[in-house]
Amino acid sequence: MADFLPISKKDMKARGWEQCDFVYIIGDAYVDHPSFGHAIISRVLENAGYKVGIISQPDWKDPKSISVLGEPRLGFLVMGGNMDSMVNHYSVSKKKRKTDAFTPGGVMGKRPDYAVTVYCNLIRRSYQKKPIIIGGIEASLRRLAHYDYWSDKMKRSVLLDSQADLLLYGMGERSIVEVADALNGGMDVKDITWIDGTVFSCKEPDGAVPQIVLPKYEQLTKNKAKYAESFYLQYQNTDPFTAKRLVEPYEDRCVVQNPPQKPLTQQEMDKVYSLPYMRTWHPSYAKAGGVPAIAEVQFSLISNRGCFGACSFCALTFHQGRIIQTRSHQSILAEAQKMVWDPDFKGYIHDVGGPTANFRHPACQKQLTKGACQNRQCLFPTPCKNMVADHTDYLALLRKLRQLPNVKKVFIRSGIRFDYLLADKSDAFFKEMVKHHISGQLKVAPEHIADPVLDLMGKPRNCVYERFLEKYKRLNDQMGLKQFVVPYLMSSHPGSTLKEAVALAEYLRDLGYMPEQVQDFYPTPSTISTVMYYTGLDPRTMKKVYVPTNPHEKAMQRALIQYRNPKNYALVHEALVKAGRTDLIGFDKKCLIKPMQSERTRAAAKPKQAAGKKLAPTGSRNPKGRRKR
């Protein structure tokens, strides 16, 4: 019978275990659902025959907290959580967030900043020689030297700062089993240097293996241009078919990154999602009210992973890669069959997708054997001629899901690429999406409307978004529906001056729409946009890029998107004056805001003064107010 993995010695005893093979330290609450990385890795290891115990959110101030399951036979696994711990803790303005959706009851403060490093150092205090393997999004995106926004400086590879022995980047299902098998076979963790999707450190790398030597860490801290060059070399080596081993030298050792793990086959993906997940949070969290993050995924289905959209501000290229991997219809329907009989299921499948919902196969056939192109994106600046835009498989899947018992509606909420949608010569999916899969509002991500900013974002030009809106409206009109588009917009992205920010505000004015939330650009580790933010250079071209880094300017750009909010009036007014766009301050319908009271008073005083001169009696008053005779 399926059950949660052990979280205590009592649980271990109930299973007849004397010792765990691996103890898994995680920064999130323990949620045994395939949308949570720790659930997948622990179940994959269990399926491979290993005993895994979970320690969720240990007290990092107490060394005893990581010993509650005893010493593991093979090693410790560590991940910071489903999010980087710093993104989890802080808003883009570096203010502490009030809640944590991945903690029981949504309570903030149950994990440390830089969680991976802190947990590993805690382990090392008690277990000096036991292997430590780190993974998850925080470790994956900090695997080599990187700019850290929160400390505003370059940081070393997290492998060094954490004192871990091995780092697994990407999704890790295949590499974790290879590592476990090597350890189980008696191999020293220091000798595990050949596995794809891993990073290790050593004194001298093996010169017999083809490799690219990156600039030294000490150079990166002194020269921002060197960091931009280094990052782009890393970016060009993210494809599992073409990537070379990368070596990053430090003063006394090297950090070595092996090529990425190969994509999982559909059969392997199906296997991963068929494992005996409990699909909810551990019952020990009941008193706290459970774990809020489950609400977003409990009645959603993951159909794919990877993304060939390759937006500059997104880290998916570095983590999941650009090659799409999918589950079979049978696998997804089997999961859905369990879901629809859940007592809490209300008839609505909230999402069927992944990083990009409407990607259900690789961008082109070449990617399956030769990988993604190093110097060409699939959709940007225009769709590649070799790209196959076809929604047939996705549409067939959605139709099957709509026919399941107890299902009232199947929504698509994880986002679609509208440029890919338009590239499909058939309208079949577009029509059925409008008719069946929207809950009144379709969320898409144009991100901006100024082409110079869109070019740096790696997003399609605004005219493409306009074509999508026209077609969307036409289909809604034909079907007699009144459904809207909710655009995700980003302020202060590199390349955006006040000029582009004002243009975006004018666009929203003409659209008659003011977004409730605005995403200010957030410089997270391992994205092209973050490199632009830090260096002022586009690493792809090494050309200079304007970067709004001043908090006040960023506040003005954000306020312009929500110019109708009275709280933003002063910022919007200041921005329009600085941008030389005072023509947008007034009472005309094209104006964004009305004049300040003082401006109205001055404007009103001018004509009165002119009229007074005409009506005044002969002579004028001297400065003291006496009339000249």
Query: How far is it, in rounded angstroms, from Cα 557 to Cα 163?
Result: 41
Mean pLDDT of 413-425: 94
Res 31: pLDDT: 98
* Ordered DSSP codes for 526-543: S-HHHHHHHHSEETTTTE
Res 414: pLDDT: 84
Mean pLDDT of 297-301: 95
Res 567: pLDDT: 94
Do residues 22 and 51 touch, judged by C-beta distance below 8 A? yes
Do residues 313 and 529 touch, judged by C-beta distance below 8 A? yes
pLDDT band at residue 501 using 50, 70 and 90 as cut-offs: very high
> Which CATH number does the domain housing residue 510 bear?
3.30.750.200
- Position 80 in a domain: yes
Task: Give strand ranges (E) for 496-569.
Answer: 519-520, 537-538, 543-544
Buried b or exposed e, range 52-68, using 16+ CB within 10 angstroms:
bbbbbbbebeeeeebbe
Among residues 545, 549, 530, the alpha carbon closest in space to that of 232 is found at 530
Q: Tell me whether the omega of the peptide bond preceding residue 381 falls within 30 degrees of 0, making it cis.
A: yes
Query: How far is it, in rounded angstroms, from Cα 152 to Cα 22?
Result: 35
Among residues 326, 318, 302, 415, the alpha carbon closest in space to that of 37 is found at 302
- For 288, left (φ over 0), alpha (ψ -120 to 50), or beta? alpha
The residues pairing with 390 across neighbouring beta strands, listed in sequence order, are none
Rounded (10°) angle between helices 266-273 and 329-339:
10
Residue partners of 510: CB distance under 8 A and separation at least 6: none
H-assigned helices in 61-201: 85-89, 115-126, 136-141, 158-162, 173-184
- Other Cβ atoms less than 10 A from the Cβ of 376: the count is 9
- Position 551 in a domain: yes
- Position 395 in a domain: no
Q: Domain end: 222, 257, 292, which one? A: 257
* Residue 235 pLDDT greater than 70, yes or no: yes
Rounded (10°) angle between helices 173-184 and 266-273:
80
Among residues 446, 435, 443, the alpha carbon closest in space to that of 413 is found at 443
Query: How far is it, in rounded angstroms, from Cα 44 to Cα 39?
Result: 8
Q: 79: which 2 tokens?
A: 């991940």
- Antiparallel, parallel or unpaired: β 153-155 and 166-168: unpaired
Residue % of the chain over a pLDDT of 90? 89
- Antiparallel, parallel or unpaired: β 211-213 and 519-520: unpaired
Residue partners of 386: CB distance under 8 A and separation at least 6: 363, 364, 366
* Residue 604 pLDDT greater than 80, yes or no: no
**Which one-letter amino acid corresponds to residue 177?**
V
Specify the number of domains making up the chain.
2
Do residues 82 and 37 touch, judged by C-beta distance below 8 A? yes
What's the CA angle centered on 393, arms 389 and 394, to 5 degrees? Answer: 85
Query: For the whole model, what pTM was predicted?
Result: 0.92
The model's pLDDT over 72-103, given as tens digits with 9 standing for 90+, comes to 999 999 999 999 999 999 999 999 999 999 99
Among residues 144, 86, 90, the alpha carbon closest in space to that of 116 is found at 86
> Which CATH number does the domain housing residue 157 bear?
3.40.50.280
* Residue 600 pLDDT greater than 70, yes or no: no
Q: Domain end: 233, 257, 281, which one? A: 257
- Antiparallel, parallel or unpaired: β 132-135 and 75-79: parallel
Q: Domain end: 240, 257, 274, which one? A: 257
**Residue that has been written with the tokens 């299921």 in this structure:** 345
- Position 618 in a domain: no
* Residue 599 pLDDT greater than 90, yes or no: no
Q: Pick the more confident residue, 184 or 600.
A: 184
- Position 3 in a domain: no
- Position 243 in a domain: no
**Residue that has been written with the tokens 């202060």 in this structure:** 492
Query: How far is it, in rounded angstroms, from Cα 372 to Cα 592?
Result: 45
- Position 195 in a domain: yes
The SS3 of residue 418 is helix
For residue 22, the enclosing domain spans 9-204+251-257
Cα four-point dihedral sign 370, 371, 377, 383? positive
Q: 38: which 2 tokens?
A: 């720790």
- Position 242 in a domain: no
The model's pLDDT over 122-177, given as tens digits with 9 standing for 90+, comes to 999 999 999 999 999 999 999 999 999 999 999 999 999 999 999 999 999 999 99
**Which one-letter amino acid corresponds to residue 79?**
M
Among residues 399, 421, 236, 414, the alpha carbon closest in space to that of 310 is found at 236
Q: 443: which 2 tokens?
A: 């969320």
Mean pLDDT of 171-199: 97
The model's pLDDT over 467-484, given as tens digits with 9 standing for 90+, comes to 999 999 999 999 999 999
The model's pLDDT over 312-352, given as tens digits with 9 standing for 90+, comes to 999 999 999 999 999 999 999 999 999 999 999 999 999 99
